Structure 1
Amino acid sequence: MGITVIKSVRLFDGNEVFPTSTVTFDTDSGTIISVDTSSSSNDVPPDAEVIDGSGHTLLPGLIDAHVHVHGLHLPEGADHSQVLRTPLRCGVTTICDMHSDPEIIHKFKANIKEGVARAKKDNSKVALADLKSSLYGATIEGGWPKPIVLAHDPTEELKATVKTWPSLTPETAEDFVKSHKSQGADYIKLMQENCCSLALPTNSIPVATPELQSSVVKAAHAADLLVVGHATSRESTEIVLKSGADGLTHTFVDQSPTEDIVPLYKENNAFVIPTLVILSSLTNELQDLREKFAGIAHKNFGIDDFTKQNMTEVLGMKAPQCTIEHAYETIRMFRKHGIDVVAGTDSAAGLKGSGIGPSLWMELGLYVEQCGMSTVEALRSCTSVTARRFGFGDRGVVEKGRRADLLLVKGDPTGRLEDLWEGGIVGVWKEGLRAI
């Protein structure tokens, strides 16, 4: 424990790249003490651990802005313990849950806190990524995602679980928000799904009304909580935006974008979390990439056989007109108009086509290869942009006073993004504590 200094390292601070820098952080307080981007400083505190960063790049810990930590997609007896372990090994120090049982979230957060305390006491490593959550989404009676969760294997236990989820009306929206804030929700999640993009008849399940969504947003904003919304179709996206939400947790795949969607985003200063990984699983595309990243994660980062297999499978339940190309086109348009893109995958344990942690690499790669982003833009989308848009003022940027959530990579992912996942992660710190 004590002071750690990383010298002679290329630094991506969450915004810009500096060729030779020195970063000093305190393991005890978990914060960054200083950042010298002018040179490789020789001013090292006594008894500090010094790491030579030559030939390496230091980045903020990555953030996946759309994950589910529940185990509802796992078969009976499957290992649920890796939900927060695997992402940390992959350089993802924070994950944002977008709908899970509050009891599960509170249990995970207690485990995270205990793990940090134990690591400080025993001079050992931390094992769990940090967690933010909406707790339950603002679900309605019979609405999304209740039917889809029950579609595959509706055991009595699962039916009982889903029955505990909220069934909101405009009249109960304010109480829902107040209750969630008191339980520690970090933001509020809307659900707007008309099944237009799915292999189900449009409007075949109950759909939240614009009145309800506006009521939830109004109550959330009054409580100083950010609001994001699920929508996979253009029509549902418009309803979420017109409700006043701050961001979308997917982009749409049912049609090509048209310029008239831009003013709706601009009016709210809304952002988008594309979730190209899970959308391509929905549309049964990009199988070669799923297999590639599953193989890398299994070989170099220790994901288990079940997760590897799950990452290569697909949801495959799209409506005929849907394609991932619509999502690519939308993100290209949004970049042109300055709409913020926040990286997220919609990964969940057992959700086909996803793996919490390694799926973020695939997401970032698609931003560069298909959506026109530079490597630096892609890295901003999972660090500083996420922190800024979600109001996480303590992370996402490498600067004095921020959390020492850091990632050390061999090579230069700011120039060659592949360095991030091709066996190059040599150090991960969370709150200044070693994970790798």
Structure 2
Amino acid sequence: MGATVIKSVRLFDGNEVYPTSTVTFDGESGTIISVDTSSSGADVPQDAEVIDGSGHTLLPGLIDAHVHVHALHLPHDADHSQVLRMPLRCGVTTICDMHSDPETIHKFRADIKDEVAHVRKSNGKVTLSDLKSSLYGATIEGGWPKPIVLAHDPTEELKAIVKTWPSLTPETATDFIASHKSDGADYIKLMQENCCSLALPTNSIPVASLELQTSVVKAAHDAGLLVVGHATSRESTEIVLKSGANGLTHTFIDQSPTEDIVPLYKENNAFVIPTLVILSSLTNELQDLREKFAEIASSKFGIDDFTKQNMVEYLGMKAPQCSIEHAYETIRMCRKHGVDVIAGTDSAGGLKGSGVGPSLWMELGLYVSECGMSVVEALKAATSVTARRFSFNDRGVVEKGRRADLVLVKGNPTERLEDLWEGGIAGVWKQGLRAV
């Protein structure tokens, strides 16, 4: 399998934009061989496939830092593999699962590995995004998200599944971390939900204590694992930050932010994954955008009726005081004070108001239109910033020796983000292997 050369292409390398570049990569090693940002061009290896990138922009593969790949929301006859197939077609080469059963994760990881090996021999195309995961979150007895999952469809089968989820205490935190690390967890996910932001009575389900969360964070950090936490209210956000976690997997929607939240982020150097897509589904806002991206996904990918309908529906579970505007305000404040913002959607197969892949396009658009980000800053949030903060040191930037996870886009999405979905994706490569 020879090298591929993309020449005369505008390059966003994850940090800077270069007007004319040549990038050479190899599907056998899966890495980038060279990056030449001069106008003179680079030497072309013998037998290389040469692609003229004129009028196009080359980006690092996008990363969605909050996805769920379990099948809990899907019909029994659904194609479960679409949670990895559709994002790759959207230029999302890595997805970060934030609570799924180990069996599903192990199966998908085996499928991904087998597919890469097969494509290297057959010269075909890859179809599955790469997968990082927390495995199960650090759930407690009766706590989030157990009740909400059971409320959706309380079958005996589902009750049996939920019963296998962790029921942590401070005393079992160290064993939980050791087991997760040995089972292949890439990071640890906390669950801190007091229902303040939901159409449920506050504290109507068991809530994890600061003592427990601190125990989990300490054990994880001692084991060299990063920790992120679910929280949709201001109070729950404070508990996650006070526990020492490295980041939040949502921002809060129950109130406007005040400046005193900033020192809590700063003390841990914590980041935030806004998940505006799913929060707006929770609050039943931005219906026009959900319909827009469902239509785009339908026209580009021919998604089935269930997936399209699911993308335009909404969760509609908010408490009266909640608004997506609170989330916008918080992200604006975080940016102002230098808190890293990482792109993530909380999308999942069958989760109302989301579609794994197209939802990241919507998420990035909201960063620009509502949160004050420049287009390049939004792209960084889905590439280099995520890779840096999660210590994914092999991806997220276009640089010699890194994974050849690349997206070729018609037009200039570094100035007009809409080119990602309107101009269209002309090519996707994962580990140097062609996908689209």
TM range (shorter): over 0.9
Q: Quote the residue 1:413 is aligned against.
A: 413
Contact 1:190 1:213 in 2 (8 A): yes
Q: CA deviation at 1:304?
A: 2.3
**Alignment of structure 1 residues 35-434 onto 2, 5 Å:** 35-434=35-434
Distance 1:323 1:185 in 2: 33
Q: CA deviation at 1:166?
A: 0.2
Q: CA deviation at 1:306?
A: 1.4
Q: CA deviation at 1:423?
A: 4.6
Contact 2:406 2:430 in 1 (8 A): yes
Contact 2:36 2:42 in 1 (8 A): no
Contact 1:274 1:345 in 2 (8 A): yes
Distance 2:427 2:281 in 1: 31
Residues 156-213 of structure 1: CA deviation (Å, up to 9, x unaligned): 1110000000000000000000000000000000000000000000000000000000
- Structure 1's unaligned 5+ residue stretches are none
Distance 1:317 1:114 in 2: 40
- Structure 1 pair 389/73, CA: closer, same or farther in 2 (3 Å)? same
Distance 2:126 2:187 in 1: 26
Distance 1:393 1:85 in 2: 24
Q: CA deviation at 1:79?
A: 2.3
Distance 2:304 2:95 in 1: 20
Contact 2:310 2:351 in 1 (8 A): yes
Residues 379-427 of structure 1: CA deviation (Å, up to 9, x unaligned): 0000000000000000000000000000000000000000001151010
Q: Which amino acid aligns with 1:422?
A: E
Distance 1:36 1:431 in 2: 19
Q: Give the aligned length.
A: 436
Q: Which amino acid aligns with 1:26?
A: D
Partner of 1:260, secondary structure, is helix
Q: CA deviation at 1:305?
A: 2.0
Partner of 1:84, secondary structure, is helix
CA RMSD in angstroms, aligned pairs only: 0.7
Q: Quote the residue 2:32 is aligned against.
A: 32
Contact 1:90 1:301 in 2 (8 A): no
Distance 2:80 2:107 in 1: 13
Distance 1:305 1:363 in 2: 22
Residues 211-250 of structure 1: CA deviation (Å, up to 9, x unaligned): 0000000000000000000000000000000000000000
Contact 2:273 2:343 in 1 (8 A): yes
What is the TM-score of this pair, normalised by structure 1? 0.99
Distance 2:225 2:40 in 1: 41
Q: CA deviation at 1:74?
A: 1.2
Contact 2:411 2:423 in 1 (8 A): no
Distance 1:191 1:120 in 2: 40
Residues 363-385 of structure 1: CA deviation (Å, up to 9, x unaligned): 00000000000000000000000
Residues 117-148 of structure 1: CA deviation (Å, up to 9, x unaligned): 01001000001000000000000000000000
Contact 1:342 1:386 in 2 (8 A): yes
Task: State percent identity of aligned pairs.
Answer: 86
Partner of 2:327, secondary structure, is helix
Q: CA deviation at 1:362?
A: 0.2
Partner of 1:7, secondary structure, is strand
What is the TM-score of this pair, normalised by structure 2? 0.99
Distance 1:147 1:73 in 2: 14
Q: CA deviation at 1:301?
A: 2.6
